[in-house]
Amino acid sequence: MNTIRLAVDGVNKIYAGQATRVVAVEDASAAFAEGSVTAIMGPSGSGKTTLLSILGLILKPSNGRVTLMGRDVTDLDEARLPELRRQHIGFIFQSFNLFSALSALENVLVALQLKKVARPEAEAAARSALSRVGLEQRMRFYPRDLSGGEKQRVSIARALATNAPIILADEPTANLDSHTGLAIIDLLAELAREQGRTVVVVTHDTRMQEHVDHTLRMEDGRVYEN
């Protein structure tokens, strides 16, 4: 059994407004091991993004526990969370979230600067991550000159370069054609296997299932093992 890097136990998330109350996640428990790729699937509105945000320490659950790298972080001081996130978690988004005024290389460097990695080391790590995702010929390109799949590769390189042991991806293939989308999922799976990263990827493409190790299904905020 590989080490569990990230886990939620009995997690609920309730969004309460003045006249509204949405139970977005209900009694969710799941554990994510080193070197594994887990897909979270389910219809729109089923709570996938909310659960991923809890896993990424962006949202606090209303109840339940979150464990990161063996440590219960549920009640940790808010002020310490950004540093924990930077150290342990790389995010990949549907919309790529690249800076349009920065080249592919600079987009990856920004993430390393946030971690205060010294310049020569940062440059080497950024180049190596971009090469790993097949963009060695595109390092000086700006996002506008990259295809959707290439832009998503830059954001994967950004998550990789920081050495984050955990990679959380929210519908990273939603803006890509299905062929490119599958290539992205395969790349994430390869990275998990080669580098022991823990990858959690939200998708609603059922064909992704055979490319991952585990699938969790969400429906109305509840998590089901597939």
Ligand X SMILES: Nc1ncnc2c1ncn2[C@@H]1O[C@H](COP(=O)(O)OP(=O)(O)O)[C@@H](O)[C@H]1O
- The residues binding ligand X (CB under 6 A) are 15, 22, 24, 42, 44-50
Q: Which is nearer to ligand X, 193 or 214 (CB)?
A: 214
Q: Which is nearer to ligand X, 64 or 165 (CB)?
A: 64
Q: What is the dihedral of CA 130, 155, 224, 33, to 10 degrees?
A: 40
CB of 181 to ligand X, least distance (A): 17
CB within 8 Å of 179: residues ≥ 6 apart: none
The stretch near Mg ion (CB under 5 A) out of 21-29, 46-54, 58-66, 182-190 is 46-54
CB of 51 to Mg ion, least distance (A): 9
CB 56 within 8 A of CB 89: yes
Q: Which is nearer to Mg ion, 108 or 168 (CB)?
A: 168
Among Mg ion, ligand X, none, what binds residue 46 when CB lies within 5 to 8 Å by partner kind? ligand X
The pairing of strands 21-33 and 4-16 is: antiparallel
Q: Which is nearer to ligand X, 44 or 137 (CB)?
A: 44
Tokens 């950024």 correspond to 126
CA distance 77 to 46: 29
Interface with Mg ion, residue 203, by CB under 5 A? no
Q: Which tokens belong to 47?
A: 């709570």
For the beta carbon of residue 158, count every other beta carbon within 10 angstroms: 27
Tokens 């190596």 correspond to 128
E strand map for 17-154: 21-33, 37-41, 63-68, 71-72, 89-93
Task: Find the largest Cα–Cα distance for the chain.
Answer: 54
Alpha helices in 135-177 (DSSP H): 148-161
Q: Which is nearer to Mg ion, 102 or 174 (CB)?
A: 174
CB of 18 to ligand X, least distance (A): 12
Q: Which is nearer to ligand X, 55 or 157 (CB)?
A: 55
Q: Which residue is nearest to Mg ion (CB)?
A: 49
Q: Which tokens belong to 181?
A: 């989308």
Interface with Mg ion, residue 50, by CB under 5 A? no
* 3-class DSSP state of 21: strand
The stretch near Mg ion (CB under 5 A) out of 49-57, 63-71, 77-85, 120-128 is 49-57
- Applying CB under 5 A, what is the total number of residues that bind Mg ion? 2
Which one among 36, 38, 46, 49 touches Mg ion, defined by CB under 5 A? 49
The residues that touch Mg ion, with contacts defined as CB under 5 A, are 48-49
